[in-house]
């Protein structure tokens, strides 16, 4: 019998090897029955190389995904120019501090939020309540979608009533509307400011009443509620695309997540707008229905911002910049 010839081992086994290259044979040489894959030692080696190479792509894909997350987080952190704090209380008991990184160079709305957080001639978010906790429609999710603060009613110095005309963006929401859509509410812990009402919601009809004027009754229409003035802010607990049409993202929460968790877990007034009794009462203009509607989503407990201001990083830790520039913790006056 003639001695069977042995095929030389494949040259490129390490990277990019395939089963076809290992199992390939010379079709012209039918008598060659011993291949590199049939050799016991080479078979074990080739199988190990083939198996290990199969995990190269998943590992690289995971690393790319993780790097993308890091890049996205780093990108948002680079937008932070200032840090402000809010101290919250529930029914008068202080529960802790939330620190927000403000994207001060991204929009005029962000600069407005920063100025009101620091305080302008005593005007700030201090003592403003949390008036709404938007519940998640998914009943299996315990956390809400977002919480909302009360707006600042007038741009006047507390106590004196002196008009404040130095608010970034002016006294209306006209300039702020141009900031809509710059950033999406695509994750939790984003802070945004409401600059308009939801255009998808029907506007209320103007109310009218009869008044006597020189012995004659005249029908007078009450003015509609004004547009948001760009002072009420929200903090997201989850991606909240509904806010994209009304709010401008101005920053993100960087600490105090346990405080937000306490607020988000508070029970709220249930939304009874589907009740036939409520619908009938609202249709006939019953004021009790209107008052009840304003309470939907409001926490039963009173949540208040006790204090607010700007945080400055120093070698000794954190300190608060007051309006006069002093490096000590003070409430915004």
Of the listed ranges 10-14, 119-123, 129-133, 236-240, the one predicted with least confidence:
10-14
Beta strands 233-236 and 146-149: pairing type?
antiparallel
- For residue 121, the tally of other CB atoms under 10 A from its CB is 17
Confidence of residue 45 (pLDDT cuts 50, 70, 90): low
Reference 300, options 77, 129, 107; nearest CA is 129
Cβ–Cβ < 8 Å for 308, 89: no
CA–CA distance, 311 with 45 (Å, rounded to integer): 61
- For residue 35, the tally of other CB atoms under 10 A from its CB is 19
Does this model's pTM top 0.75? no
Confidence of residue 35 (pLDDT cuts 50, 70, 90): very low
pLDDT at 202: 76
**Which backbone phi and psi does 174 adopt, to 5 degrees?**
-60, -50
Cβ–Cβ < 8 Å for 150, 132: no
Reference 308, options 129, 118, 152; nearest CA is 118
Calculated CA dihedral for residues 271, 274, 278, 282, nearest 10 degrees = 100
Q: What is the pLDDT of residues 295-320, one digit of tens each?
A: 777 899 999 999 999 997 544 444 44
Q: What is the pLDDT of residues 258-270, one digit of tens each?
A: 999 999 999 998 8
* DSSP secondary structure letters along 223-281: PPPPPP-S--EEEESS--GGGGGTEEEEEEEEE-HHHHHHHHTS-B----TT-HHHHHH
Of the listed ranges 76-90, 209-223, 228-242, the one predicted with least confidence:
209-223
pLDDT at 179: 96
pLDDT at 160: 87
Mean pLDDT of all residues belonging to the chain: 78
Of the listed ranges 157-161, 170-174, 216-220, 252-256, the one predicted with least confidence:
216-220
The 3-state secondary structure of 192-208 reads EEECCCCCCCCCCCCCE
**Which backbone phi and psi does 294 adopt, to 5 degrees?**
-70, -20
């Amino acid at each position: 019998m003639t001695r069977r010839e042995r095929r030389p081992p494949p040259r490129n086994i390490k990277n990019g090897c395939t089963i076809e290259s290992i199992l390939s044979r010379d079709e012209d040489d039918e008598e060659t029955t011993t291949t590199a894959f049939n050799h016991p030692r080479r078979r074990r080696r080739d199988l190990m190389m083939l198996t290990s190479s199969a995990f190269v792509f998943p590992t690289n894909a995971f690393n790319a995904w993780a790097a993308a997350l890091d890049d996205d987080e780093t990108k948002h952190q680079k937008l932070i120019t200032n840090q402000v704090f809010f101290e919250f209380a529930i029914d008068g008991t202080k529960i802790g501090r939330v620190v927000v990184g403000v994207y001060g160079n991204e929009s005029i709305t962000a600069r407005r939020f920063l100025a009101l957080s620091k305080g302008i001639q005593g005007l700030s978010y201090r003592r403003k309540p949390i008036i709404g906790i938007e519940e998640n429609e998914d009943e299996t999710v315990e956390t809400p979608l977002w919480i909302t603060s009360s707006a600042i009613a007038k741009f006047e110095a507390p106590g004196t009533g002196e008009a404040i005309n130095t608010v970034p963006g002016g006294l209306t929401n006209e300039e702020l509307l141009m900031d809509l859509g710059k950033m999406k509410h695509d994750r939790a812990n984003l802070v945004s400011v409401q600059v308009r009402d939801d255009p998808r919601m029907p506007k209320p009809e103007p109310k009218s009443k009869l008044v006597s004027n020189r012995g004659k009754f005249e029908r007078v229409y009450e003015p509609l509620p004004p547009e948001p003035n760009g002072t009420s802010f929200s903090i997201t607990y989850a991606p909240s695309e509904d806010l994209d049409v009304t709010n401008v993202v101005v920053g993100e929460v960087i600490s105090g997540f346990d405080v937000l968790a306490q607020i988000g877990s508070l029970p709220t007034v249930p939304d009874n707008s589907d009740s036939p009794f409520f619908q009938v009462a609202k249709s006939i203009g019953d004021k009790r229905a209107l008052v009840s509607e304003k309470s939907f989503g409001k926490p039963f407990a009173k949540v208040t911002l006790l204090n607010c201001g700007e945080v400055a990083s120093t070698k000794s830790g954190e300190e608060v910049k007051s309006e006069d520039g002093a490096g000590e913790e003070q409430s915004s006056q």
